[in-house]
Structure 1
Amino acid sequence: MWDRLYASAFEKVINRLGNIGRVLLAYNTNIDAIKYLNSRDLEERVNRAGKEEVLRYSEELPEKIMSVQQLLGSILWSVKLGKAAELFVESCSTRFYMKLWGWDELRMGGQVGIMANLLGGVYGIPVIAHVPQISRLQAGLFKDGPIYVPKIENGQLRLVHPKEFNADEESCIHFIYEFPRGFTVFDFEAPRENRFIGSADDYNPNLFIRTEFRKNFDEIAKNVDLAIVSGLQALTKDNYREPFETIRGHLEVLNDRNVPAHLEFAFTPDETVRKAILDFLGNFWSVGLNEVELASIMEVIGEKRLAEKLLANDPVDPIAVTEAMLKLAERAGVKRIHFHTYGYYLALTDYKGEFVRDALLFAALAAAAKAKLGDVHSMDDIVKAMKVPVNERAKPVEEALAKEYGMEKGLAEVDDYQLAFVPTKIVEKPKSTVGIGDTISSSAFVGEFALKMG
């Protein structure tokens, strides 16, 4: 059944992607310096830094990285749980340590950069992207295609490809430490492949918003049909107020123009910022998150036991996820919640239709292509992902949803909402995990509207 549904959904979505006009993507773009971890090297580094202190930080993530010990401990936390995390590296000496440690490859990074290359460079959907710093290296990482950044020339707003922006601003680099499933270090073994991200730039963590966007947002918004907002995760209680006011203003403009906006949530260590995001989530049409991020929101609304249930099992308990999504929907008033985890996706919507499930299936194909190849270069890559097997471990998840909610063919009614479920396609040895969540969420969001508009 699922193979048939996958093939049908793919055909439906690609035939309708042309229905999408421009998509606004804001606010975070950077360069990813990817390091594939080596067990022996990591153990030696931990021993040199002081194993006892490092292990202390592997138990619970700090709010930000202030030392090499915290960096290494946070990497071990990700390995031990097989969970992704991203923290801001404030310490200059730790940033220097990461530079000396080096990288294996440089890639487009930041949610906006990854989504721009996928939507514009692969799907051919015109995108307007906010790029905090357009260095030559950053601009060169953008694919060819209808990808635009605003530029002011002679007092007029123009939309140009980043490569034509002709500036050489700073490079914002994030250090990404990748590990495969089964990766062992000391007595830790990774239950699944994932990564830890050390953010070492001063623009994205402070949500720097370019003058072109601040002064000309009304004009920029005239040109868009959809918007995806991301990059709030590194803000702190000390610096979030000003950017949040700007974002509120942008959302008011988008809502006045009936432009649906999706918030791509990411692990946000600062509880004050999480609460602030929750308070204005109702201004968004949609939000996308994984189990770690959903658990972190349950914590701030006082649902600590539910937060623990979300992190207790692998695969993640779908009944606990649904319960958490219902609580979030009622609290925030958001129309759509898209949950993605290893092995399956769920979408809770206050509207009904097979197109919600079909958009998730299309997103799962894009994610499989991304995992297999490290990057999606063309629609042919997504076609080839059809051969990747459907996740067998999702069967108990589907059975639990059928028993609890009477789900059939991935659809059920829960309270006044529709719950859509899809088992994903699992790549046994993914080349990379960076950007898979962004690939999933952006593909599902635009896919849903492409089908709706069709």
Structure 2
Amino acid sequence: MVWGELYSSAFERVRAKVGNVKGVLLAYNTNIDAIKYLERNDLEARVERTGKEEVIQYSEELPESIKGVPQLLGSILWSVKRGKAAELYVESCPVRFYMRRWGWDELRMGGQVGIMANLIGGVYGIPVITHVPQLSKLQATLFNDGPIYVPRVEDGKLKLLHPREFNNNEENCIHYIYEFPRGFRVFDFEAPRENRFIGSADDYNPNLYIRSEFRERFDEIVPRVQLAIISGLQALTRKNYREPFEIIRGHLEVLNEKKVPVHLEFAFTPDKTVRKEILKLLPEIWSVGLNEVELASIMEVMGEKDLAEKLLASDPVNPIAVTEAMLKLAELGVRRIHFHTYGYYLALTSYRGDFVRDALLFAALAAAAKAKLGDVSLINDIASAMDVPINDKAKAVEEALVKEYGMKNGIAEVSGYQLAFIPTKIVEKPKSTVGVGDTISSSAFISEFVLR
């Protein structure tokens, strides 16, 4: 199979149709990312000053939240050691002050919703209605030009305004992103791939604060969109999940009543109670997106510990174990499961068609373009990733799928579902990894819709 030809065809087909989407609803997490590019000497010195022995213990197993500097530094080492992304809520004010003093190299749009809004609205030109927990002046400046809207009630009427027209000076919600490249060394650890650790240091997103416009006027917002993407549940805990989940269930009821397909984007969720509650939402969800760390964490709360271990045992991730895990999720009623990992993507769907595979190809191009350029400003920028090489390790993955499921042209039948596979393009030295996962999932979901 000539994957290069399939990539080119998928890009042209999506580019021709992507403007046909009426609108996309994005909720609930938007913030400001303060990005710090880690330096070995600086990080090692901080660990030594804090107490290496105490820090190292957190590099073995992540805490549920960050309450001290040893947990912060140990969690960063956890990500470096594995080359895996993780995000934890920073409870401690002294740790937040420590991170602020540590500083950052740049500020960017953050939060899954914020990143997706700038891509879908600012690049693809699709109208998006966006939930922004706190719309500060700085937050507003980080939104791209384009059909990006936030709802506002004026004189009893719902209006949609670009964030820069909102004219409120609410709080800055800052998340600290600690990025490292492939091969980054600290003590005896060496990063097998580039990635980052995220310390969430605001009190709105971690509590899933939902604005009054979305709580009170949601039934007026939904008729303006054809698709919805939900994210931001990852920082909730057993102590604070009940109220936001009650609102989310109400929102899902309205979306399903209006026949709006909903995609739920997972992120690493430390609290097991919240993971179990997310599983209860899946019968109301059309589609989910996740990586191997997130899929393993879900398998763990489903009682599939052996399968969870298999998902984290090899690089590249064992595609047969991934498929088995996706089938477990599909049994809960979700119609589409999109798995993305370093080197390849899979999609398990209750429906069939090459468009599922082609949507993954477009998403992989968009992700490679973002990694290569740092940001994507125009849809034609995505074509710049056409010359990025396809991951060599994905060949063994494809061969395993062919042997196990008789896969042809990236498509197979598995237990009554369709399984789609693509090898991804790998940027050797990406400018940044922040937002790549959100680019992948939102691009695949939307392009699958336009290719139907």
Q: Output the TM-score relative to the length of structure 1.
A: 0.99
Q: Deviation per CA, 1:323-342: give whole Å up to 9, x if none.
A: 00001111x21000000000
SS at match of 1:395: helix
4+ aligned runs moved over 2 Å, structure 1? none
Aligned to 1:35: 36
Aligned to 1:219: 220
SS at match of 2:32: strand
Aligned to 1:372: 372
Shift of 1:248: 0.2
The 10-residue stretch of structure 1 (372-381 or 108-117) with the greater mean CA deviation from structure 2: 372-381
Shift of 1:374: 1.6
Aligned to 1:301: 302
Once superposed, what is the RMSD of the aligned Cα atoms? 0.5
Shift of 1:155: 1.1
Does residue 439 in structure 1 map to residue 439 in structure 2?
A: yes
SS at match of 2:60: coil
SS at match of 2:206: helix
Alpha-carbon separation, structure 1, partners of 2:391 and 2:177: 27
Shift of 1:254: 0.2
Q: Deviation per CA, 1:385-420: give whole Å up to 9, x if none.
A: 111111111000000000000001110000110000
Does residue 354 in structure 1 map to residue 359 in structure 2?
A: no
Alpha-carbon separation, structure 2, partners of 1:18 and 1:231: 26
SS at match of 1:376: coil
SS at match of 2:243: helix
Q: Deviation per CA, 1:157-192: give whole Å up to 9, x if none.
A: 000000000111001000000000000000000000
Alpha-carbon separation, structure 2, partners of 1:280 and 1:127: 23
Aligned to 2:401: 401
Aligned to 1:430: 430
Does residue 141 in structure 1 map to residue 142 in structure 2?
A: yes
SS at match of 1:47: helix
Aligned to 1:290: 291
Q: Output the TM-score relative to the length of structure 2.
A: 0.99
Alpha-carbon separation, structure 2, partners of 1:265 and 1:379: 25
Aligned residue pairs, count = 451
Aligned to 2:419: 419
SS at match of 1:206: coil
Aligned to 1:333: 333
Aligned to 1:391: 391
Alpha-carbon separation, structure 2, partners of 1:241 and 1:423: 40
Shift of 1:18: 1.8
Alpha-carbon separation, structure 1, partners of 2:418 and 2:181: 35
Shift of 1:378: 1.1
Alignment of 1:26-425 (within 5 A): 26-330=27-331, 332-425=332-425
Shift of 1:377: 1.2
Alpha-carbon separation, structure 1, partners of 2:426 and 2:19: 28
Alpha-carbon separation, structure 1, partners of 2:97 and 2:373: 30
Aligned to 1:24: 25
Alpha-carbon separation, structure 2, partners of 1:21 and 1:392: 38
Alpha-carbon separation, structure 2, partners of 1:438 and 1:75: 21
Does residue 451 in structure 1 map to residue 451 in structure 2?
A: yes
Alpha-carbon separation, structure 2, partners of 1:156 and 1:333: 37
Shift of 1:250: 0.2
Alpha-carbon separation, structure 1, partners of 2:225 and 2:170: 27
SS at match of 1:158: strand
Alpha-carbon separation, structure 2, partners of 1:374 and 1:198: 21
SS at match of 1:31: strand
Q: Deviation per CA, 1:230-287: give whole Å up to 9, x if none.
A: 0000000000000000000000000000000000000000000000000111110000
SS at match of 1:58: helix
Shift of 1:380: 2.4
Alpha-carbon separation, structure 2, partners of 1:234 and 1:222: 29
Alpha-carbon separation, structure 1, partners of 2:190 and 2:160: 48
Unpaired runs of at least 5, structure 1: none
Alpha-carbon separation, structure 2, partners of 1:269 and 1:59: 15
Alpha-carbon separation, structure 1, partners of 2:115 and 2:97: 26
SS at match of 1:34: strand
Alpha-carbon separation, structure 1, partners of 2:377 and 2:314: 34
Alpha-carbon separation, structure 2, partners of 1:284 and 1:343: 27
Alpha-carbon separation, structure 1, partners of 2:21 and 2:347: 21
Alpha-carbon separation, structure 2, partners of 1:393 and 1:276: 36
The percentage of counterpart residues that share the same residue type is 77
SS at match of 1:266: coil
Aligned to 2:8: 7
SS at match of 1:255: helix
Shift of 1:101: 0.2
SS at match of 1:392: coil
Unpaired runs of at least 5, structure 2: none
Alpha-carbon separation, structure 1, partners of 2:362 and 2:283: 26
SS at match of 2:123: coil
Alpha-carbon separation, structure 2, partners of 1:15 and 1:414: 31
Alpha-carbon separation, structure 2, partners of 1:372 and 1:432: 8
Q: Deviation per CA, 1:85-126: give whole Å up to 9, x if none.
A: 000000000000000000000000000000000000000000
